[in-house]
Amino acid sequence: MSAVNEPLTEFERNARVVLEQSLARIDARTRSRLNQARHAALEAAGARRRAWWRGLTLMPTAGAAAAALLVAVVLWHRQPGSEPAVLEAQHVEDMELLADGEALELLDGWDGPFYEWATAQTDNVQSDG
C-alpha cells in the first residue's frame, strides 16, 4: 500500500470501496468471528517472532561448541604416530640402494652405460678446466 503521506492511487481507492461494500454485506456475527480470528493470528505471529529471537541467544554457545569440536578434530588427526619412523626407514633403504652399485643395475629402466658416460663427461670437463 502507499505510504501515509502519499495520495491514494485510483486502484487503491477502487479497492477500498469494494472492500467496504463487501464488509457492509457481512452480518455482525461473521464480522465478530473474523475479527477474533485476526486477533488470534496476530498473537500467534507475535509469539513466533519472540521464539525466533530467543533462538539467537544460543548462537554464541553453539558457535563456541562448534569451534571446540573443530579444534579437537584437527588436533586428533595431527597426533604424532609412526609416520616419521616409516619415512626414515624408506630414506635409509633408498640411501643403501644408491650406495650399492650392483643394486642399481637391478632397477627397472636402469641405463647404466648412459650414467657411466655422463660421469666420464663431467670428469673430463673438470680435468680440462
pLDDT tens profile 36-60:
999 999 888 876 655 555 667 777 8
* pLDDT band, residue 83 (cuts 50/70/90): low
* pLDDT band, residue 64 (cuts 50/70/90): confident
d(CA 28, CA 20): 14
Q: Do 64 and 89 lie in a common domain?
A: no
Is residue 120 pLDDT above 60, yes or no? yes
Is position 50 within any domain? Answer: yes
Instruction: Check residue 31 and report its DSSP letter.
Output: H
Which residue in the block uniquely carries the three cell numbers 457481512? 26
pLDDT of residue 29: 92
Last residue of some domain: 31, 48, 74? 74
Q: How far is CA 105 from CA 70, 91, 120, in A?
A: 50, 19, 18
Q: Do 61 and 95 lie in a common domain?
A: no
Q: Do 63 and 92 lie in a common domain?
A: no
pTM over 0.75: no
Please state, rounded to an integer, the average pLDDT across all residues of the chain. Answer: 76
Q: Do 111 and 89 lie in a common domain?
A: yes
Is position 103 within any domain? Answer: yes
Q: Do 68 and 29 lie in a common domain?
A: yes
Tell me how many domains the chain contains: 2
Question: Which of 128, 104, 107 is CA-nearest to residue 116?
Answer: 104
Is position 2 within any domain? Answer: no
- The answer to whether 104 and 97 have CB atoms below 8 angstroms apart is yes
Q: Find how far residue 122's CA is from the centre of its chain.
A: 55
Question: What residues make up the domain containing 97?
Answer: 83-128
Comparing 69 with 111, the larger pLDDT belongs to: 69
pLDDT of residue 84: 53
Last residue of some domain: 31, 46, 74? 74
Is position 3 within any domain? Answer: no
